[in-house]
Structure 1
């Protein structure tokens, strides 16, 4: 995990509190619901907050979604078409 030291300890108090809160909430999820990633995703959102517009959660203010995940297929097709036309 990027927010832990090599020995597994959280890098700071804020991270430790967030991880502790996530563990607490995950422990309250029924075992049958743990099969679904959406239950764990909801816990993450509850602790870390909702996504910010045009930002990728946990990446800070630098990269945008297209920087991290690449262009959408339609944008790729438009770029290819522009290359063919130009």
Structure 2
């Protein structure tokens, strides 16, 4: 399997992508990044087959369990097979499984976090809407009161 990173190391590609995304890219994202040409096609037939297998299995699991998020990293491990001892795909030289595994959230953890953040966002939007509505009502009352004061209908006492 060839890769598309040229002289850039996987560690450098990972760091650049982490800056763009705001989090470390997953194993699947790293595979796509390092095996996809600029035109969007995969670099070779082996890479294309791996991507096709991942997408097929992900679609099957989504159909079988629609309420559960699909863990693409788990599917990636199934498609790619066992890792060689002491190695971690997509990290370049140096990192070991024990130094990396605790840092990467699983797809399920990420999905759970995203859902929690969406719920919090929805609550905050509702609260903001309520505050804006209250503010508009208060402003309306204040304007009508000021109009009454100008017309002399309200005394200072």
TM-score, length of structure 2 as denominator length: 0.35
Q: Which stretches in structure 1 are left out of the alignment for 5+ residues?
A: 71-86
Q: Which has the higher contact order (CA 8 A, sep 6+)?
A: 2
Question: How far is the alpha carbon of 1:40 from its aligned partner?
Answer: 1.8
Q: Which residue does the alignment assign to 2:52?
A: 20
Whose radius of gyration is greater, 1 or 2? 2
Stretches (4+) displaced over 2 A: none
Question: How far is the alpha carbon of 1:42 from its aligned partner?
Answer: 1.8
Give the alignment of 1:1-86 within 5 angstroms: 1-30=33-62, 31-34=66-69, 39-59=71-91, 63-65=93-95
Instruction: Provide the secondary structure at the position in 2 that maps to 1:2.
Output: helix
Name the count of aligned residue pairs: 63
Structure richer in helix, relative to its length: 2
Q: Residues of 2 paired with 1:49 and 1:13: CA distance? A: 18
CA contact (8 A) 1:54 1:64 kept: no
Please list the CA deviations of residues 25-66 of structure 1 after superposition, one character each: whole Å capped at 9, or x if unmatched. 0001133222x6xx222211111112221111145xx61315
Instruction: Provide the secondary structure at the position in 2 that maps to 1:21.
Output: helix
Name the Cα RMSD after superposition. Answer: 2.2
Q: Residues of 1 paired with 2:83 and 2:41: CA distance? A: 26
CA contact (8 A) 1:10 1:16 kept: yes
